[in-house]
Each structure stands twice: as structure tokens, then as C-alpha cells.
Amino acid sequence: MPAIQLLFSLSPPRFELPDAFTGALEPNNLLAGATRMFEGQIIGPTSLAIYKDWIYAGTAGGAVWRGNLRTGNASRIAKINNEMCERKPWDSSLCGRPLGVRVDAAGVLYFVDAYLGLHSVTFDAEDRVQLTPLLSLEQVGGRYMGHLVIDEKAGSNGGHMIYITVASSKRDVTQWTAMVIEPDTTGFVVQYDTGSGQWAIIWDKLWYPTSIELTDDRTALLVAEFSSRKVLKYYIRGRWRGTSLFLF
């Protein structure tokens, strides 16, 4: 059998380990003093957001839960999909999967579901919930929404500008391993204006973008690319607006 020539390198990059774990790497027992909260009440909580005495999280089973930090009690406040997933709460294709959650200064909750898009949740004077769909994956041409960040009062008519990571335009959350192996470079960032309802793709060709954050000076976005193991910076204001760079 003829030899097959390999067209890729089998030599992984080398990383030097420190001689000792000191400074920021020094072992500590800080987590030993942590308090377990809402244990047994919610399943698979992800991205957390805190507003006053409340903490919010998307969970396995397709629901968004709210926990009271004073009493330790939690309750389901929103569920987009139908109840078909009650027998299979682990099946996100049936249940949906809320991932990123954020709360604005007025207490309005915004969240993205990996399958079902961007939604808002408001509460009236009697604490009744109003769930409003804002932007779907079909509208933006994606398959998997990951996270969001709010640039408050940056939208039109006093609204916010919300920036959303779409991890892939080809695969959903159940196919994340294929996204890493390929690697999938069809991820992008969407800008959504709550004041006008207008949206635009502002940054594309990303390698499985997951978390997103706004810098303290509000001039740029920070995005974590899962597949490339990088943190990237994209300027939304100032001299370098519309450009990006690799941070680490």
C-alpha cells in the first residue's frame, strides 16, 4: 500500500508551565465559603443577571427563572415553547434553550434563546409577566443564538441597542462539537435597536462566538470565540468604529 502524505501538522503548540503557582495563580479556598442557592429548584442555569433582590437565569427545559436573593425561593417566569418537553427536559430541540440574559436599569429583562431568538420580559404593578418576541433566528439567517449585551439608551427614540452573538448560520446548539471540529466560521454579531425594531449584522466570519460584553467606556464590544480560544474587540464608536482586533 503506498504511503499517504499527511497534509497537516501533528505537532501541537507548546506552552511552558510556570515553575510555581504564585501571584494570580496561587491556590486559594475562596469557593469554600460560597453558598449554594436555589438547589433542587432549577435545572441547568446559565447566564445570570441580577436586578435588586432578584437573580434571573435561563434553564434546561426552555424556561427563564427568577430567584429571590432574600428568601431563597425561585419561580418560573417565562417559557416560550410548548409543554412537549416536559417528558424530555434535556432535549433542547423540543424545549428551546434560553442562554444569555440581561436586565436593564429599569428592570426589563432581555434574553436570547438558542433556537427561538431575542425576547423581552416586563412586569406590571401586580408583578404579572409580559413576554414579547423581538427578533427571530429566521430573520437574521442564523441557527444558534448565544448571548447578548445591552448598550442602554443608545438606540433610537430612547431605546437600547442590543448586541447579540449568533454562533452559527449552519448548525444549532446540539451540533456544537461539529462547529469546533470543522471549524465553523459562520458566526456573526447582530445589532438590534429596541426603539425602532431595526437590526443589522455588523460583524461576521466569527469562529463560534459565545459570550459578548461592552467595554466600560462603551466604545467597543468584547467577544469570545470558542473554537479559536480568542477574545476579540470590535469598535462601535470613535475613530476605530467598525474595526476589530485580537486581544488574547
- The string of pLDDT tens digits covering residues 87-97 is 776 677 778 89
Amino acid 8: pLDDT: 47
4: pLDDT strictly greater than 80: no
Q: Which of 96, 97, 80 lies closest to 132, judged by CA? A: 80
* Residue 143: pLDDT band with limits 50, 70, 90: very high
Cα within 13 Å of Cα(205), Cβ side = 1
pTM: predicted TM-score of the whole model, two decimal places: 0.87
Q: How far apart are CA 150 and CA 134, in angstroms?
A: 14
2: pLDDT strictly greater than 60: no
16-53 confidence digits (pLDDT tens): 777 888 888 899 998 888 888 999 899 889 899 999 99
Amino acid 134: pLDDT: 97
Beta-carbon count within 10 A of 58 CB:
27
Amino acid 83: pLDDT: 64
Q: How far is C-alpha 225 from the geometric centre of its chain's CA atoms?
A: 12
Q: Mean pLDDT across the stretch 180-197? A: 96
Q: Mean pLDDT across the stretch 242-247? A: 89
CA distances from 154 to 74, 144, 164, 212, 225 (A): 32, 25, 15, 17, 25
Task: Measure CA of the first residue to CA of the last residue in the chain; give whole Å.
Answer: 45
200: pLDDT strictly greater than 90: yes
Q: How far apart are CA 101 and CA 111, in angstroms?
A: 4
Measured in degrees and rounded to the nearest 5, phi and psi for residue 126 equal: -100, 15
Amino acid 232: pLDDT: 96
Looking at every residue in the chain, the average pLDDT score rounds to: 89
* Residue 11: pLDDT band with limits 50, 70, 90: low
Give the residue with greater pLDDT, 122 vs 20. Answer: 122
56-83 confidence digits (pLDDT tens): 999 988 889 999 999 999 999 988 776 6
Amino acid 6: pLDDT: 47
- Name the grid cell of 162: 442590543
Amino acid 169: pLDDT: 96
Of 59-63, 83-87, 157-161, 225-229, least confident by mean pLDDT is: 83-87
Contact 41, 75 (CB under 8 A): no
Q: Give the single-character DSSP code of 32.
A: G
Amino acid 80: pLDDT: 79
**Is the preceding omega at residue 183 within 30 degrees of 0, hence cis?**
yes
Q: Mean pLDDT across the stretch 203-227? A: 96
Q: How far apart are CA 115 and CA 97, in angstroms?
A: 7
Apex 98 CA angle, 118 and 133, nearest 5: 25
